[in-house]
Amino acid sequence: MGNRYLDWLRQADADVQHARNALKAGDFEWSCFAAQQGAEKALKAVFLKLGMEAWGHTLTALIGNLPKETRVPPALINDAKTLDKHYIPTRYPNGFDSGAPRDFYTKEEAEKAIQCAEEILDFCRRQVG
């Protein structure tokens, strides 16, 4: 089977587009989650391109496991930390003492999540050439 890094990158693009669509629809929690998913898939595309495996969903850990010669900008690590916070609580009501995730996420958070995902996606596109 061939290297499918381009499939992962295409899906990353689609996930970030879904984040934009969810933002427009006012589904801010789903926008944040889709942004996190897009960034995760983009990073995994880089690992695949390099012939490496990547497991897990923590973007900060994924970035930290990239080869040193990849030279990750420090701002990207902050983007990853921002998005890592959206992996579980965006989807599960027990992430909060009461209420549903949709009660807690804001338009500004969704916009920031999309911005962070786009930064990571752009970085990953440059890595895979």
Kindly report, residue by residue over 27-53, the tens digit of the pLDDT: 999 999 999 999 999 999 999 999 998
Domain 5-128 carries which CATH code? 1.20.120.330
- pLDDT at position 1 is 53
Residue 23 has pLDDT above 60, yes or no: yes
Helix (H, G, I), strand (E, B) or coil at 59: helix
- pLDDT at position 3 is 85
Both structure tokens of 117 = 């995902």
Q: What is the dihedral of CA 57, 58, 59, 61, to 10 degrees?
A: -120
Residue 2 has pLDDT above 80, yes or no: no
Cα three-residue angle 78-74-45, rounded to 5 degrees: 80
Distance, CA of 30 to CA of 18 (rounded, Å): 9
DSSP state of 93: G
Upper half-sphere CA count for residue 90 (Cβ side, 13 Å): 23
- pLDDT at position 129 is 85
Both structure tokens of 42 = 């983009």
DSSP state of 52: -
DSSP state of 104: T
Both structure tokens of 23 = 């933002």
Find the mean pLDDT for residues 59-67: 96
pLDDT digits (tens, 9 = 90+) for 82-128: 999 999 999 999 999 999 999 999 999 999 999 999 999 999 999 99
Distance, CA of 47 to CA of 30 (rounded, Å): 26
Predicted structure pTM score? 0.96
